Each structure stands twice: as structure tokens, then as C-alpha cells.
């Protein structure tokens, strides 16, 4: 299922949402520029639980570096499709949430959702040395807010069926509910020693 448009229209320009999308794209370009140093870059700026809970590892990082990665991980992505999927979802749902709660509150909400997802990941996998990256936690918070704020909205959705690509307008609660179930199943099917995509 690919969301194409929300039935909910924004009355203001989503400056924060579009800026967040731009920052994510910029960080991805910085990632691409790392070349052979990409793994080291992701380890430095991704979220690595062992950096916080294993004393032999945490001693190699300053407090500033530890705090920075709690934010920077949510602006990194594991590939073009990871970036496009997250940014498209943010584009579809984020503008409406920003319009409803205001740009400053929206920015704080986005960052707090991303931080909360990072903390949950850290405490769930305290000894993992695998860097986790991605904006999915922050975006899940935005989608949850959309669900609460616009429960009667509809999402114009492309649903691929073999060789057919029908477009249906489906209720937001159905789309978001299915998305959250798929995210939950994906998270529970993997362990802290796998992946690296939030």
C-alpha cells in the first residue's frame, strides 16, 4: 500500500515538516559522501546501545558524542528506499499535524517521538553493538498524532494487485492501524543483533 494523499487539507505552509524532510535528505547526501568511511560514520552518529551500557565501549565516547547520537540517528537512513519511504510518509501526514498543533510544538513533538523511540531501543537491546538509524520512530509518532487528530480522514492509497494498480480511498484508521501492525510484526521478528534500520 502506497499512500498518495490525505483527504485532510492544511491551511498553512508546513515549514517545519518540509525543513525536516530537507534535513533528512541533506544528512543522506552526507552519508553518501562518506565512501569507505560510511561504517565508521554510522557507528559514530547512529544509535549503538552498547555505547551507553557497556563501560569498555562507552569510555571511548564523550558525553557530547553520546548526546548527539541520541538525535542524529533519526536523521540517517539505510538506503534510498528507506529514505524515500520515510520522507514520503512524513510528507503525507506531517503537514496536517503541523497545521493542527503549530510549527514549534510540531518540531518538539517530532524530536521527542524520535528520542523516545531511541530510548526504547536502547533499553530493549542494551548490549547490542549494531548501529540503528532512521526516522521511523519519529514518523510513527506523527502518524499516531494524525490518527488522533483526524480519525475520520481518508487516505488515497495505491494498492498493487499483481498487474493491477487500483487507487482506493481508505479510512485513515484502517491505513494507520495496518501500518502499526506491520511495524510491530517487523520489530518483534528481529532481535537487537539484527538489522540497523529503525
Query: pLDDT per residue over 73-95, tens digit each?
Result: 999 998 999 899 899 999 999 99
| Phi, psi angle pair for 166, to nearest 5° | -70, 150
Query: pLDDT per residue over 14-61, tens digit each?
Result: 999 999 999 999 999 999 999 999 999 999 999 999 999 998 888 888
Q: What pTM, to 2 d.p., does this model score?
A: 0.86
In the chain, the largest separation of any two C-alpha atoms, in whole Å, equals 55
Structural domains for the chain: 2-189 (1.20.1540)
Instruction: Compute the half-sphere exposure of residue 142: CA atoms within 13 Å on the CB side of its CA.
Output: 30
- b/e burial code for range 70-89 (CB count within 10 A of at least 16 → b): eebbbbbbbeeebbebbbeb
Amino acid at each position: 500500500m502506497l499512500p498518495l494523499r490525505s483527504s485532510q487539507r492544511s491551511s498553512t505552509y508546513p515549514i517545519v515538516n518540509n525543513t525536516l524532510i530537507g534535513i533528512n535528505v541533506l544528512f543522506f547526501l552526507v552519508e553518501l559522501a562518506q565512501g569507505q568511511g560510511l561504517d565508521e560514520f554510522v557507528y559514530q552518529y547512529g544509535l549503538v546501545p552498547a555505547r551507553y551500557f557497556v563501560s569498555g565501549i562507552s569510555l571511548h565516547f564523550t558525553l557530547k558524542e553520546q548526546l548527539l547520537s541520541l538525535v542524529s540517528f533519526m536523521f540517517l537512513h539505510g538506503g534510498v528506499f528507506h529514505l524515500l519511504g520515510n520522507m514520503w510518509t512524513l510528507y503525507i501526514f506531517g503537514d496536517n499535524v503541523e497545521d493542527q498543533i503549530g510549527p514549534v510544538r510540531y518540531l518538539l513533538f517530532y524530536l521527542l517521538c524520535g528520542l523516545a523511540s531511541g530510548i526504547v531501543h536502547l533499553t530493549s537491546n542494551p548490549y547490542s553493538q549494531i548501529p540503528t538509524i532512521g526516522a521511523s520512530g519519529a514518523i510513527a509518532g506523527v502518524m499516531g498524532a494524525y490518527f488522533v487528530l483526524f480519525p475520520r480522514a481518508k487516505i488515497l492509497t495505491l494498492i498493487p494487485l499483481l498487474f493491477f494498480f487500483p487507487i482506493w480511498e481508505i479510512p485513515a484508521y484502517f491505513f494507520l492501524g495496518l501500518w502499526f501492525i506491520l511495524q510491530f510484526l517487523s520489530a518483534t521478528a528481529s532481535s537487537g543483533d539484527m538489522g540497523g534500520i529503525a
